[in-house]
Amino acid sequence: MTVMSLESELAELHKPLLRFAQLQLRNDALAEDVVSETLLAILEKPGNFEGRSSLRTYATGILKFKIIDVLRKRGREVHVEPLDEQSVDEALDALFHADGHYVDKPPAWQQPEMALEQRQFFEVLERCVERLPPRLARVFMMREWLEREVDEICAELSITANNCGVMLFRARMALRECLGQNWFGQDGSGSKA
Amino acid sequence: MNEKDGPAALPERLTCKEAARLLSAGLDRQLPEPERARLRLHLVICDACRNVEQQFDFLRRAMRELGRGDDGEAPPPR
């Protein structure tokens, strides 16, 4: 790969990488920083990219490590407020009857495999993640996008394992609802207000 | 299975809400045996919760694909 084509490929990746960093860090300046560092790391040692995966996969891998570093530092500095348990319960309670059965039984999603091949699906997924309360989104992204162990996440954010579990549960339920309504055509009538 | 089906042998039934919570927890840690058994029993009898199980699994896969782009290598075999 010539230097020129590497640069132009990286230029195309700039925006998507920035978007991921913003989603995770919720801070535009920090996001710019980690993306710049990522691009710089690739430009400084282009030989390390062996072309075994796509450049995008390679760059995303580096970006993940940069983001983990930032979160690690920030986790020590910033106190994360404990989740408001009451609001969690309220949001979840709306999905269930008092006896623990679903108000609307979750239907099966049709052809989820096909969704994974469509760029538009991932745009919907991103929007659904963005819609989560910031703390939930952060814990969820650390778990599912950065693929970190729950113990590490709890320790870093100084939250209990139980609280962490509740947050992940709530995030997953909210994302299920969001994807069901916005991609899999589950009708929104489920929200009986 | 050749167990006697005395009611005493049956674990206490889960609600769908509890099942959803355990499905989520199972993605983060190995569930201890009594909970796993109760969850498996619930999934056998509840198709809605089987859907939720599949959707949680799908969500995990989708999140791992997020950012990999569609120009990468083939998705990992499953």
pLDDT digits (tens, 9 = 90+) for B2-39: 444 445 556 578 999 999 999 999 999 999 988 999 99
CA-closest candidate to residue A140, choices A108, A116, A102, A173: A173
Question: Rounded to a whole number, what is the distance in Å from the CA of A45 to chain B's nearest CA?
Answer: 21
* Nearest neighbour of B51 by CB, restricted to A60, A107, A126: A107
Whether residue B75 and residue A121 make contact (CB cut-off 8 A), yes or no, is no
Best B14, B45, B53, B59 member to test A by mutation, with max A CBs in 10 Å, is: B59
Class of the CATH-defined domain A3-77? mainly alpha
Q: How confident is the model at residue A79 (pLDDT cuts 50, 70, 90)?
A: very low
Residues carrying CATH 1.10.1740, chain A: 3-77
Class of the CATH-defined domain A85-190? mainly alpha
Q: Which residues pair with A96 in a beta bridge?
A: A102
Residues carrying CATH 1.10.10.10, chain A: 85-190
What average pLDDT does the segment A131-139 reach? Answer: 83
Q: How confident is the model at residue B71 (pLDDT cuts 50, 70, 90)?
A: very low
Instruction: Give me the helices (H) in chain B, please.
Output: 16-26, 33-45, 47-65
Q: How far apart are CA A140 and CA A160, in angstroms?
A: 15
Give yes or no for a contact between A96 and B16, defined as CB atoms under 8 angstroms apart: yes
